[in-house]
Amino acid sequence: MLSMQALSVSDPAISRALRPLEANGLVQVTVDPDHARRRLVRLTDAGRNAFHTAGKPLYDEFRTALIAAGFPYDRYLQDTLRLAELLASD
């Protein structure tokens, strides 16, 4: 499950990549009040809908492939979520 919290980003390449998503109403980008050079990124309702429409089938396919390869999916998910927390806490 995706967190509904904002993700803080500061890398210029990520900021450039977010511009079309913001222009299409898929994400909302605001200035991080704790760090003026960073931006907070949140999925909009349209972004969540797009994820569930386009992203979920890809997610399901990826999960199926990992399981078929014998990879412990639950461990992968835990590690991925922990990594996301660490990156967001910078």
Tokens of 51: 């994820």
Can you give the pLDDT at residue 2?
43
Please name which of 14, 6, 15 lies closest in space to residue 34, comparing C-alpha atoms.
6
Can you give the pLDDT at residue 17?
83
Please name which of 1, 28, 14 lies closest in space to residue 87, comparing C-alpha atoms.
14
Can you give the pLDDT at residue 39?
82
pLDDT digits (tens, 9 = 90+) for 10-67: 577 777 888 999 999 999 998 888 888 788 888 899 998 988 888 788 888 888 998 8
